[in-house]
Amino acid sequence: MKIIKTAIPDVLVFEPLVHQDDRGFFMETWRESQFDELSPDLRFVQDNQSQSSRGTLRGLHYQRKHPQGKLARVVSGNVFDVAIDLRQSSTTFTKWVGVELSAENKKQLWIPPGFAHGFYVLSETAELIYKCTDYYVSEDNHCILWNDPLIGIAWPLVDKTPLLSKNDRCGKKIQESDLFE
């Protein structure tokens, strides 16, 4: 597995070695020993999967009291996946990284605890799977407004306005949010 650093050093892209032949392909999507070298104190406790239609934007979500690290990958379609640093003590506070994840490129994005996560669906439909380092706690679910001008994410929108859940439409600007120290 090739590990690629991004503009935010804690956010990583994992690029698997894909073995392909006439029958199809095989790849290793996660190896505990390799991950332990990067984050020895974290372990995955929950896997999630979502399916979304073209133009859907999910996020920008985070949990304050139960921060989740997430290892995200797409098994069908393609998305623009985003991580935003919400750690106020960080030199990259409010900075974001966006990576296209697809079933074709098989890349994965590591979003560490202390970051908000969101994605935008570029294909007709997309299925995203992500491993989490803490459990989902609905009372601790927070949302940053997807188009907060202070953050300035350059979303590659296929339509003027993305499809949003009620929760995501009501996201808060970063200045109004309960963030990490």
**What's the pLDDT tens digit per position in 15-73?**
999 999 999 999 888 888 888 888 888 999 999 999 999 999 999 999 999 999 999 99
- pTM across the whole model: 0.94
At the top level of CATH, the class of 2-176 is mainly beta
By annotation, the residues acting in catalysis are: 61, 130
- Looking at the chain, the whole-number percentage of residues with pLDDT higher than 90 is 87
Output the pLDDT for position 142: 96
**What's the pLDDT tens digit per position in 75-122?**
999 999 999 999 999 999 999 999 999 999 999 999 999 999 999 999
DSSP for the chain reads -EEEE-SSTT-EEEE--EEEETTEEEE----HHHHHHH-TT----EEEEEEEETTBEEEEEEESSS---EEEEEEESEEEEEEEE-BTTSTTTT-EEEEEEETTT--EEEE-TTEEEEEEE-SSEEEEEEEESS---GGGEEEB-TT-TTT------SSSS-B--HHHHTPBPGGGS--B-
Confidence of residue 139 (pLDDT cuts 50, 70, 90): very high
